[in-house]
Amino acid sequence: MQLHYFAVLAATALLTVDLEAQRRGRFNRGGQGQETAPATAETKAEEQPSDKPKSHLAIVGGDVYLGTGQRITGATVLVGDNKILAVGHRIELPEGTTVIDAKGKSVSPGFVCVYGSGMGAGRGAPWIDSCNPFDPEIKQGLAAGITSFLASAPRGGSVPAGDGAVVKLAYGKVEDMVLQEGTVLGMSAQLSAADREKFRDLVKQAKEHKSALEDFLAKKADDPQAKAPKAPAGTEKILEVLNGKARLWLTLAGGGFNPFGGGRIGAASDVDSIRSALSIATDLGVGCVLIKPTSAWLLPDEIAATDSMVVLSPRDRMPIDPADPERSGSNLASAALLNQAGVPVAVTCPVSMFGGAGVGTNGLLGNDLNTPTVDAAFAIRGGLPNADGLRTLTLDAAKILGVDQRVGSLEPGKDADILILDGDPLHYRTFVETAIVSGRVVYEIAKEPIYRRIRRQNNK
C-alpha cells in the first residue's frame, strides 16, 4: 500500500511526504498532532464512492398504474439499482440499460398485504435471522402479485406493544427481505376504567417528555454539558407512535370477534368499540388504525376527523338488528363510504374455514396466495372506484403499515417493487408476467410452473 501511494505521489509531483505519516493519516492511526498527507484526486475517488447507480432497468411502453389512483398510458419506469429513478414519457435511458418491453401490458406497484403468513418470513426479531429467501411460497406470492406483507399481526393489550416486521418477497436475497421492523404496534380499543386512566397518564408523561426533549435540543447549543431527559418508564412505545415511528393498530371488541376474523356473533353493531378507539386516537393526537371495524360505514366522518385509518374485510358480515335495520349490520359499501370521507383503507381477508386470518396457504378464495385481490374486488363491488380499489393493496396499505416512504407507489426514490401484468391489476383473469423486488427480476411466468400451463391453455 505504501509503495502504491508513493508511486501516485511521485507521478503527480504534488509533494513529498513521509510514507509512515501518510499511512497513519489515511487509516487514522498515530497520536494527536500527526500530520496527514493531502489526498490526491485518486485517493479522493477511492474514499468517496459514487452514488450513481451501477445498473439500470427500464420497463417501457406499458400502462403504468402509479398506485396513487393515477395511470399513465404508454409510459416508462426507469430503475437504478434498487430504486425508481423516473416515471413518465420521453425518459432518456442511460447506456447499458436493460429494457423490458411492456407494450400492451399493465405496470403496477407490487401488492402490499396488511397481514400474511409464511412466504419466507422469520419467526421474530431480529427477523432477518430466520427468514428463508428460498421458501417456495415466495414464488407463489409473487405469482399473485404480493411483494411485501406484515408478518406477525399486532395483538390487543392495555398499552402499545408488538415486534412484527414488514417482509419483502425478495426471493434468493435474504438481506432484502426485511423491509422494516417495529412499524406496527397493537393495543385493545376497549379498556377497563383503571387501564384507561393508566394509559392516559402514560400519554401525558410521554407528551411532557417529548416537549422537554425539544427544549433540550434547542438549549443544547448554549449548554453543551446539558443532559437529555430520560423517557419515563412505560412510555417508550407511546413515544414511537407520537414521533411517527410506528402505527398504533387498535383491536375492537364485540361478541365472538377475532381481530382478523370473519365478523361478530350475536352483535349488530360495533359503534361503541369504534368510538372507544377514536377516543384513544384523540388522546394521542395521532391517527390510529382500526382493525376491521364492521360498522365503520356509520361513522366515516368521525374516523376521518381523527386522521385514523382502517383495515377492512369487505366480506365480513354482521347481522342486522331488526329493530334498527338502517343503522346496524355490515355494509358492502363500507370501503367506498370511508374513501369518500378521506379515510385510507387497506383490505384483508376474513378467517378461512380452514384457519388462517391473512393471506397464506390455509384458505380459499382470498385467503390463499392465489387470490390476494379478491377483497379489493369486493370493495369495488360495493362502490369503491377501480383506481382507489388498487390503493387498498398498494399505497394505502403501505401507509397503514408505516412503510409508504419505501413502497406502495411507483414514484422516484421509492423501492423498485414492480409488477408487469397481462391485464387490469384487479381483474380476476389477469396474471402477473414479471415481478420485480428491490430492482431485481424475481419472478417470470414463462420460467415458473405455477401459472404457466393455465396461461398457455387460455391462449389456445
For 301-332, write each residue's pLDDT tens digit: 999 999 999 999 998 888 888 888 888 888 99
Classified as helix, coil or strand, 272 is: helix
pLDDT for 369 beyond 80: no
- Give per-residue pLDDT as tens, 155-203: 889 999 998 899 999 999 999 999 999 999 999 999 999 999 999 999 9
Q: What pLDDT score does 32 carry?
A: 38
CB 191 within 8 A of CB 250: no
In the numeric block, which cell numbers belong to residue 452?
404457466
* CA dist., res. 18 & res. 7, Å (int): 13
pLDDT for 84 beyond 50: yes
Q: What pLDDT score does 22 carry?
A: 38
**What residues have CB less than 8 Å from 114, skipping those under 6 apart?**
149, 150, 311, 346, 347, 348, 358, 397, 400, 401
Count CA within 13 A, CB hemisphere, residue 408. 26
- The mean pLDDT value of the chain amounts to 84
- Give per-residue pLDDT as tens, 127-147: 999 999 999 999 999 999 999
Between residues 460 and 420, the one the model is more confident about: 420
Classified as helix, coil or strand, 77 is: strand
* CA dist., res. 128 & res. 148, Å (int): 14
Give which of 120, 154, 368, 149 is closest to 251, Cα–Cα: 154
DSSP tag of 359: B
Between residues 218 and 407, the one the model is more confident about: 407
Q: What pLDDT score does 155 carry?
A: 82
Q: What pLDDT score does 36 carry?
A: 38
Q: How confident is the model at residue 70 (pLDDT cuts 50, 70, 90)?
A: very high
Classified as helix, coil or strand, 421 is: strand
- Give per-residue pLDDT as tens, 378-396: 999 999 999 999 999 999 9
Q: Which amino acid is at 318?
A: M
In the numeric block, which cell numbers belong to residue 340?
369518500
Q: What pLDDT score does 219 carry?
A: 80
Between residues 36 and 382, the one the model is more confident about: 382
Interval 281-309 mean pLDDT = 96
Between residues 363 and 89, the one the model is more confident about: 89
Residue whose grid cell is 487514522: 28
pLDDT for 440 beyond 50: yes
Q: What pLDDT score does 450 carry?
A: 85
DSSP string for 29-82: -S-TT---PPPPHHHHHHHS---S-S-EEEEEEEEEE-SSS-EEEEEEEEEETT
pLDDT for 338 beyond 90: yes
Between residues 458 and 379, the one the model is more confident about: 379
Percent of the chain residues topping a pLDDT of 90: 65
Q: What pLDDT score does 454 carry?
A: 81
Record the pTM.
0.83
Q: What pLDDT score does 152 carry?
A: 84
Interval 84-107 mean pLDDT = 96
